[in-house]
Chains A and B, each alone.
Chain A
Amino acid sequence: MKKTSVVSWVLILLLLSIGLLSAGIAPPKEGGMLPEITLSVPEVPAHQNYLGITKNKKTFRIPEIKAEVVLIEIFSMYCPYCQKDAPVVNELYNKIAQDEKLKNKIKLIGIGAGNSPFEVDFFQKTYDVNFPLFPDSDFSIHKMFGEVRTPYFIGVKINKDGTHSIFYSERGAIEDAPKFLNLILSKAGF
């Protein structure tokens, strides 16, 4: 084989592999697992307590949260639908927090796609959000979640043995908090 054709084949293989990479990661699938992401432990003690994450750590993984179910909202302060849905998500949080049977079982977190710490903090204060929100300034987490459009909700069931599985993965606003909660309870097998 000529030297030039070997070089051509190497370049074609490189091109194909980069092409596959550029095709991107698919959004999380029901029945699947979360990508390997780590989040910074929140600075607010109330949020640390809410998540049951020790203050000694700098970062944690979502399945380490002390809950049976974790609901993740991928949002952005720049997204009109996320802004409009923020009071409804708060209503969902309050419904869970006020229910003695559910408050320790279901926890909510938000990840601000492309949002800086300042922007996440601004969103949190503007809508008086009581659950922890995490910045994702460089979209690195958003990319691992398949660059979903916002808002996007992911429900994760955390098992006692430390394993986990995704039972809900949908794009779009909640719109009706009681209806959404019933759907989550049913899909999580509560």
Chain B
Amino acid sequence: MRKYSKIFLTLFVLFFISTYAFGLSDAFKKNIYNPGQLKPIDSKLKVKVGEKAPDFTLPSLSGEKISLSQFKGKKNVVISFVPAAWTPVCSDQWPGYNLAKVIFDKNGAVLLGITVDNIPTLYAWTNQMGDLWFPVLSDFWPHGKVAKMFGVLRSDGVAERALFIIDKNGILRYAHVSDINKRPDLKDLATALEKLNKD
């Protein structure tokens, strides 16, 4: 029976790989590692909408250290955690936000992109995306500390695909952890940002 369990497991995995799809820009050539279908969500949120978001400070690609608290009273903040550099869905997500700057601007928001990769990896990876208008932060060391604070660090050490909106008062107003295998629709983020200014 154990023999059949193994065969069924293989069939199950192959079935899901065969139905797995992602769009990939030619900008990344053949440099993307495909981890296959992953467990959709593998962590539990530690932050709550309506409560104060935890402050953090992380190094950015430009060399500058960025803190969440520096935007208090000035800008709404969107945090985009993506799992890892050089993987399929992540490599497409930020170039879309790069194009969608107007959505952030008209809602008085800045975007902070965060992964648990180190700075040299992030540098090489984001160079393929063109000139990004938003800071890219490295949550590499202590590994995934900020992802863990928000409750989006997966058991294998990468972050979830998660979006948070923190208003000018430092209050968390939107939290969405996506299926790691899928890119969230820009419409949901745009709607949440517009709602922020209506409330």
- A residues sitting closer than 8 Å to B (CB atoms) are 7-8, 11, 14-15, 18-19, 21-22, 24, 76-84, 113-116, 118-119, 122-123, 126, 137-139, 142-143, 147, 149-151, 171-173
Contacts and interface: CB of A to CB of B under 8 A. Distances in A.
Contacts of A78: 23, 25, 92-93, 95-96, 99, 183
A114 B22 contact: yes
A147 B95 contact: no
Nearest to B20: A22
Contacts of A79: 23-27, 92, 95
A126 B1 CA distance: 58
B92 to A, nearest CB: 4
B55 to A, nearest CB: 30
Label chain B's interface by main secondary structure. Answer: helix
Interface stretch (B3-11, B57-65, B111-119): B3-11
Contact size class for B?
Answer: 20 to 34
B95 A80 contact: yes
Nearest to A117: B187
Interface of B: 4, 7-8, 10-11, 14-15, 17-18, 21-27, 92-93, 95-96, 98-100, 102, 128-130, 183, 185-187, 190
Contacts of A76: 23, 25, 92, 96
Contacts of A149: 24-26
A1 B4 CA distance: 18
A18 B99 contact: no
A119 B187 contact: yes
Given A15-B11, A78-B93, A150 B23 contact: yes
